[in-house]
């Protein structure tokens, strides 16, 4: 099997650099001393920060277990280790390729379908269900964070309006996705329309009939899987439990980072900030949201919720070292391991063809022996 590599372009390299420069320009405009950030980070307590690093791996484990549970209910079986590696691989692609909200999901569909051909429709259904559950979890943590903040402080009007906007927006998207998942004829119309456009552009040179059949079959499997979940919501109990643990672990990372800086904050601040950043990241706007923009958003929300600018910026930098750059390195290792393993079967047994040929020759000889015996017996009779 040919090993596929992610395409690295100038845009892939330039955009993260611009994002980092934009973040430092942002904190400079807010009169935050970069030297002070470095000194504060150097004086951080190592124990809470080490715990945050450990929890980041546990967070991904709960993420993988939630997705694996959905796949299991669709009769797509993969091991826990493989699901963990596939998730890390997908996160690496999320960071590397723009449009973070869909690149990793496409990657996971490809990885599972490569190992178990014909499961693409079910894998897509698992990812849509996972996204729906994540959206519900996002709303719950936004509302819970707002409720906790109301008990301890007065919420800034801008932050309150942002919370309302995201709750309404997520609710609308949730309803739209559920409707699209139920209406199979809409998907078939979209597929047929896309095929007609392709044939029109190519002026009939592209033979897309096989593509249409494959897409329609996958769409049928996808909608059948989604309807099965809607008729049997009990199947979502275990994935929801693991996803809730994933969110709790995710929220614990910035909380421990603040503790390492000797500046404990309310859980409401953590819930609201993290939920807002994740909500924005989940919007498929076609632009990268992994470097620069998340740091600006986190620092802004922290500051609006009463955290001093210097502490907010330092906490953001330390948190992103764990949730971005550490995962980038581990995800790259997962990518390399997966692709190397995928290339082994084609070269693992170079004498396989020769072995098959030898076995076939032996079988042919055995089948030829009964046909040769009658002729020898006839010759013996004739000589007698």
And the tokens for 122? 């079910």
Give me the residue label for tokens 């993988």.
64
Task: Look at residue 339 in the predicted model and tell me its pLDDT.
Answer: 85
Contact status, residue 116 vs residue 299, Cβ threshold 8 Å: no
- Predicted confidence at residue 82, as pLDDT, reads 92
Would you list the domain boundaries of the chain? Answer: 10-348
Write the CB contacts of 319 (distance below 8 Å, at least 6 apart in sequence): 52, 253, 254, 257, 298
CB 83 within 8 A of CB 115: no
Residue 32 has a pLDDT of 53
Task: Bin 262: left if φ > 0, else alpha if -120 < ψ < 50, else beta.
Answer: left
Give the C-alpha separation, 315 to 273, whole Å: 12
Q: What is the pLDDT of residue 70?
A: 92
CA 53 to chain centre: 20
| Residues 324, 66: Cα–Cα separation, whole Å | 21
Q: Based on the number of CB atoms within 10 Å of its own CB, is 329 exposed (0-12), middle (13-18) or buried (19 or more)?
A: exposed
Nearest Cα residue to 311 out of 268, 250, 269, 249: 269
What global pTM score does this model have? 0.74
Q: pLDDT of the chain along its 384 residues, tens only?
A: 444 445 555 544 554 555 555 555 555 555 555 566 666 677 788 899 999 999 999 999 999 999 999 999 888 899 999 999 999 998 888 877 755 567 788 889 889 988 888 788 888 888 888 988 888 888 888 888 888 877 666 667 777 787 888 888 888 888 887 777 777 777 777 777 777 777 667 666 666 677 667 677 666 777 777 777 777 888 889 999 999 999 999 999 999 999 999 888 888 889 888 888 887 776 554 445 555 677 777 888 888 888 888 888 888 888 888 888 888 889 889 988 888 887 775 544 444 444 434 434 444 444 444 444 444 444 434 443
Distance CA 206, CA 133 (A): 39
């Amino acid at each position: 099997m040919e090993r596929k590599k992610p395409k690295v372009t100038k845009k892939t390299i330039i955009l993260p650099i611009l994002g980092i420069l934009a973040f430092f320009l942002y904190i400079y405009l807010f009169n935050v001393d970069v030297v002070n950030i470095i000194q504060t980070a150097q004086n951080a307590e190592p124990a809470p920060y080490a715990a945050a690093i450990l929890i980041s791996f546990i967070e991904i484990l709960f993420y993988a277990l939630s997705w694996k549970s959905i796949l299991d209910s669709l009769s797509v079986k993969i091991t826990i280790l493989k699901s963990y590696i596939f998730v890390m691989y997908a996160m690496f692609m999320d960071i590397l390729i723009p449009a973070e909200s869909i690149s990793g999901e496409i990657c996971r569909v490809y990885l599972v379908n490569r190992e178990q051909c014909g499961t693409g429709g079910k894998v897509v259904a698992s990812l849509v269900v996972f996204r729906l559950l994540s959206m519900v979890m996002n709303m719950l943590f936004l509302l819970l964070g707002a409720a906790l903040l109301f008990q301890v402080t007065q919420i800034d009007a801008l932050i309150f309006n942002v919370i309302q906007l995201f709750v309404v927006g997520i609710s609308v998207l949730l309803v739209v996705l559920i409707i699209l998942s139920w209406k199979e004829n809409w998907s078939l119309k979209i597929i047929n329309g896309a095929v007609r456009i392709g044939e029109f552009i190519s002026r009939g040179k592209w033979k897309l009939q096989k593509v249409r059949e494959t897409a329609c079959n996958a769409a049928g499997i996808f909608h059948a899987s989604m309807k099965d979940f809607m008729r049997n919501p009990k199947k979502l109990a275990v994935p929801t439990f693991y996803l809730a643990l994933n969110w709790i672990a995710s929220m614990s990372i910035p909380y421990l980072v603040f503790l390492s800086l000797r500046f404990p904050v309310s859980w409401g601040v953590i819930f609201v900030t993290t939920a807002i950043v994740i909500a924005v990241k989940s919007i498929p706007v076609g632009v990268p949201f992994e470097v620069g923009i998340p740091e600006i958003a986190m620092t802004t929300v922290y500051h609006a919720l009463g955290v001093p600018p210097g502490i907010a910026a330092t906490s953001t930098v330390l948190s992103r070292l764990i949730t971005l750059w550490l995962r980038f390195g581990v995800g790259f290792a997962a990518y390399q391991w997966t692709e190397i393993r995928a290339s082994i079967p084609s070269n693992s047994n170079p004498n396989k063809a020769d072995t098959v040929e030898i076995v076939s020759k032996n079988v042919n000889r055995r089948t030829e022996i009964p046909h040769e015996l009658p002729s020898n017996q006839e010759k013996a009779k004739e000589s007698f």
